Structure 1
Amino acid sequence: MQALKERISSKLSEKTKSKDKEGSSSLKNSSPIDGKHSTTHDLHHHHHQTTSSSSSAVAGNIAGINVQSAEKVKAFLAKAKDEFQVKYDRPSQNTARPEDFDRIRTLGTGSFGRVMLVKHQASGNFYAMKILDKQKVVKLKQIEHTLNEKRILQAISFPFLVNLEYHFKDNSYLYMVLEFVPGGEMFSHLRKVGRFSEQHARFYAAQIVLTFEYLHYLDILYRDLKPENLLIDAEGYLKVTDFGFAKKIKGKTILKKETRKTFENKRL
């Protein structure tokens, strides 16, 4: 998590740092005016040479850092894909029971279920429990979406994605126990302020780009990006949630007519 936060910070401040270094290098290396022997032409020429050399040095350093960063990202994604595939191919079974949790209050409701704030009795930790009515899932023809969501969630692991902590079922319901993200939806915050500043927008966009880089490397299409599905944690970072429309694809896949129709309906 810390490495990703540093990567976001470096991306956002790279241009500023570059300009600062160029300016400070020029000031340090400039010669003081030396009476008759210093002319305006000499000073400009010297300043140009100093700025050019310091700019080249900064550019070289940045290029070296970028190469190292790219190699680390490549290694991280390769390892993440191997770990994901193992869990995806062998999905885990029931990892808890309904009676292991105390239900506190309802956080939200949907077409075929609700989300409740719960407390795990053994650990004392708070979670968001998604409770899905099996009959409604079948009636609304959401079986495939529900199974895809559970299978993907139990296999992924990334700082800007909501974690699936437990999952289980009984005769009437399916349960997915997710980490509780206290900041709520981005949509609520955006509605209050009207619009985010450029700095905030870039900060959030960087996290979304990194998240989708991870998902796409795993051949996962999310297909439901909107402010309502972006939660804000206690430190102000994003957590992408709701994988009901997510899909694992094989190789190069062209969008089907039904998928395009889904996007068009969402726009309307």
Structure 2
Amino acid sequence: MFKNKLAILGAFIVGGLILTAIFAEMLAPYNPLEQNIAQGLRAPNTAHWCGQDKLGRDLFSRIIYGSRISLWVGISTVSISLVIGLAIGSISGFYGGWIDELFMRTVDILMAFPGILLAIAMVAVLGPGLNHVILALCLIGWVGYARLVRAQVLYLRELEYVTAAHALGATPARIIIQHLLPNLIAPVIVEATFGMAGAILAEASLSFLGLGAQPPTPSWGSMLNEGRQFLLLAPHHTTFPGLAIMLVVLGFNFLGDGLRDFLDVKKV
């Protein structure tokens, strides 16, 4: 793991995001909601490292607090999607038959729609808001985990130790929980790492469209939207939030690649 420099870089970026979100009050030099309209759109300087937005709010402080929104959406979406995907994928792969057909056809239907468009449609129906964004992302997020878990269970259920558990009288629930799930956790962890990057990017996209976190809540996507009209006059308004999104997504992708190589049992 330590030989993969990009994975180490990704781990540092992700660790930095987590620490920034936890200690936002200590790290932010200003109140992210404090306005100073007289200094609106001021360029970066020694007092305001990332400049100020159109209302004179400190962009550096807003980016720091925006990390909480991104991390919360990522963790919530991945956690809920993972639980649903593990349950449906393991049951579908273990039992097969009409249960498998029902679940997998549902997965096929959901995957037929572009994920971001389905999320936009759902949030548009429910109304803008962070909780609705998480709900919309979970609606489409679990299908990838379900397909991955089902494929792993189809392979694992044919192995000798599962047959031995059957012969010893173990119940299906015991086999799934104690014998199958622990042996498919490695690819699920990798998928969850990439899922964090996708969820953060999706939240930024929905907030950019005005469907995510509502003003004055600091969100990286909404900052991009607010600075869009001042792109030539004050490019810092979009540059720094965009760099934050890019850096975090790259960090999770680098970490996911490293974990995929590290947890690949075929290379052991």
Q: TM-score, normalised by structure 1?
A: 0.26
Q: TM-score, normalised by structure 2?
A: 0.26
The structure whose residues are more often helix, as a share, is 2
The structure whose residues are more often strand, as a share, is 1
